[in-house]
Chains A and B, each alone.
Chain A
């Protein structure tokens, strides 16, 4: 649905060149929710703005729904943009217009027949749950409600793709949840493909099917959310995932424990998250398992858990435990201190 091929973007400031994007390629499939995560300055905002050419890439090609955007005339680009919705961190509504007009004015300006406009506005305000706010001005709305209006405005053009530029970053956690639920619903019910960028892991795990991690203008890793969570390869990806499993265990303690047996990380994906595998292992073998920290989170459609445990026992026995756990579908990895 969206294809970015070898996109580069260089900004020229007075004193130097900034390479915001370096040879980035990305493909978003029809109907999926694709997330791009990175710290600020990673280039993710530039990346999403390249999809509808708000930012013209220095090099590379942009395809949306099969057509190439780079070589389009201004008129063709406008037509194509009508089918690419976009929502922003700052909502970007007209302050001087009512909720109704905020949706109706763009419809009018893009040539939707006058008779149809009120129906469309009402239909999509109902989708976002704001039917009763038609005549209110944006400043009387909460942040979450403003974002809902912005979503209704985007949906009212009946787009095939929705781009979300940090749409939940200005919202409190509870409102973020409800907006994410809404985005998931839109994806499900209207089949709209969503590309979103965020710096919050939470957003990725809650609604995304696939994810790309960006750093210094490059995509350093991408794949299914589950795969990336269970086997992150790059340091930055690991850092993002570790942030979900806070374990401030003091190094001294860990070193002390390590003398009496290995410290391991157990990663559970899907059905294995519900199994008492570790408890079974310690019953079966001559090993004492001591859980140091742990957490289970809910990914879009599967639970995902991680435990850090200390196995106390003879190496022979602890190895058996590791083998047993692996057979139970649990990923086991020994903790080494050097890489965090």
Chain B
């Protein structure tokens, strides 16, 4: 009885939900990669321009701080509309998956920069100095010592960022980008198909659980103390 209901449900909605899951992955992964490419160097710059660090520069540090704080003060749903002209300028469209990547990156990259900053600040200053004393180049110290030692914290930080990002993709439906959140809202809420909403939510919950578990596991693997 129940089984036949389930089969009937997936016959009707399977394609929609599958497609939405793919869209969520697509939006999430592309935005994540670009956000890390922008956010990690920004995080490093935030650390290095601090007072007492190797590239100490209070102007750059101050500007970066302000910029990151401003972007982080704006809720994603507002940012999405605020950035419409900018998005159109960058990728030529402001709708669909392509159109949502820009606001997702603008939203996530500063967040990642902040998370990277705190992960990198945990690295013992003495280790950096020991490498400086060995005559090793600053860029090598950043990459082979600072980032390396911070890896477990970086992984955990990225896990948090990914989860935030998936939350933001739920709003992407508003510009027609689809995704699980959009399905839950459009079919579940607007068309009152409660089953669809529940299934979408369960999928989101499972997704988040899996991501958090992978993150914890990876961080534990990299952490050796």
Give me 8 other A-B pairs in contact (C-beta within 8 A), A78-B137, A94-B149 excluded: A79-B135, A81-B134, A84-B133, A94-B145, A96-B224, A109-B140, A139-B224, A157-B134
The contact sample of 20 A-B pairs, CB cut-off 8 A, is: A77-B135, A81-B133, A85-B134, A86-B133, A86-B134, A88-B130, A92-B124, A92-B126, A92-B129, A94-B148, A94-B149, A95-B224, A95-B225, A96-B148, A96-B222, A96-B223, A97-B224, A105-B144, A109-B134, A109-B140
CB-based nearest A residue for B126: A92
Asked whether any CB of chain A lies closer than 8 Å to the CB of B132, the reply is yes
List A residues 147-166 near B (Cβ within 8 Å).
Answer: 150, 157, 163
CB distance from A139 to the nearest CB of B (A): 4
Decide: A86 near B135, CB < 8 A? Known: A96-B151, A137-B225.
Answer: no
List A residues 63-87 near B (Cβ within 8 Å).
Answer: 77-82, 84-86
Asked whether any CB of chain B lies closer than 8 Å to the CB of A318, the reply is no
Asked whether any CB of chain A lies closer than 8 Å to the CB of B127, the reply is yes
Distance in angstroms between the alpha carbons of A81 and B134 in the assembled complex: 6
CB distance from B218 to the nearest CB of A (A): 13
Asked whether any CB of chain B lies closer than 8 Å to the CB of A90, the reply is yes
Asked whether any CB of chain A lies closer than 8 Å to the CB of B187, the reply is no
Where the two chains meet, the residues of B that have a C-beta atom closer than 8 Å to any C-beta of A are 124, 126-127, 129-137, 140, 144-145, 148-149, 151-152, 222-225
CB distance from B48 to the nearest CB of A (A): 16
- Is there an interface contact between B130 and A82, defined as CB atoms closer than 8 Å? no
| Central interface residue in A79, A96, A110, by most chain B CB within 10 Å | A96
Decide: A109 near B137, CB < 8 A? Known: A96-B223, A137-B225.
Answer: yes
- Is there an interface contact between B149 and A54, defined as CB atoms closer than 8 Å? no
Contacting residues, chain A, for B134 (C-beta < 8 A)? 81-82, 85-86, 106, 109-110, 157
Asked whether any CB of chain B lies closer than 8 Å to the CB of A52, the reply is yes
Asked whether any CB of chain B lies closer than 8 Å to the CB of A93, the reply is yes
- Is there an interface contact between B133 and A139, defined as CB atoms closer than 8 Å? no
Contacting residues, chain B, for A80 (C-beta < 8 A)? 135
Instruction: Pick the 3 closest A-B CB pairs, nearest first.
Output: A81-B135, A139-B225, A92-B130
Contacting residues, chain A, for B132 (C-beta < 8 A)? 54, 81
Per-position binary interface string of chain A over residues 93-133, scored 1 when its CB falls under 8 Å from any chain B CB and 0 otherwise:
11111000000011001100000000000000000000000
Distance in angstroms between the alpha carbons of A54 and B133 in the assembled complex: 7
Tell which of B124, B131, B224, B225 touches A106, judged by Cβ atoms closer than 8 Å: B131
Contacting residues, chain A, for B140 (C-beta < 8 A)? 109
CB-based nearest A residue for B145: A94
Distance in angstroms between the alpha carbons of A81 and B135 in the assembled complex: 5
- Is there an interface contact between B152 and A94, defined as CB atoms closer than 8 Å? no
Contacting residues, chain B, for A94 (C-beta < 8 A)? 127, 145, 148-149
Tell which of B127, B144, B222 touches A109, judged by Cβ atoms closer than 8 Å: B144
CB distance from A115 to the nearest CB of B (A): 20
| Central interface residue in A82, A92, A139, A163, by most chain B CB within 10 Å | A92
CB distance from A216 to the nearest CB of B (A): 24
- Is there an interface contact between B135 and A88, defined as CB atoms closer than 8 Å? no
Distance in angstroms between the alpha carbons of A174 and B133 in the assembled complex: 28
- Is there an interface contact between B136 and A109, defined as CB atoms closer than 8 Å? yes
CB distance from A161 to the nearest CB of B (A): 11
Distance in angstroms between the alpha carbons of A92 and B145 in the assembled complex: 11
Distance in angstroms between the alpha carbons of A54 and B135 in the assembled complex: 11
CB-based nearest B residue for A86: B133
CB distance from A147 to the nearest CB of B (A): 12
CB-based nearest B residue for A78: B135
Decide: A88 near B126, CB < 8 A? Known: A96-B148, A96-B152, A137-B225.
Answer: yes
- Is there an interface contact between A110 and B135, defined as CB atoms closer than 8 Å? yes
- Is there an interface contact between B225 and A90, defined as CB atoms closer than 8 Å? no
Contacting residues, chain A, for B222 (C-beta < 8 A)? 96
Distance in angstroms between the alpha carbons of A96 and B145 in the assembled complex: 10
Contacting residues, chain B, for A163 (C-beta < 8 A)? 133
CB distance from A29 to the nearest CB of B (A): 22
List A residues 305-332 near B (Cβ within 8 Å).
Answer: none
Contacting residues, chain B, for A78 (C-beta < 8 A)? 135-137
Distance in angstroms between the alpha carbons of A336 and B37 in the assembled complex: 73
Distance in angstroms between the alpha carbons of A90 and B133 in the assembled complex: 14
- Is there an interface contact between B135 and A96, defined as CB atoms closer than 8 Å? no
CB distance from A162 to the nearest CB of B (A): 11
Distance in angstroms between the alpha carbons of A208 and B85 in the assembled complex: 72
CB-based nearest A residue for B152: A96
Distance in angstroms between the alpha carbons of A73 and B24 in the assembled complex: 52
CB-based nearest B residue for A81: B135
- Is there an interface contact between B127 and A82, defined as CB atoms closer than 8 Å? no
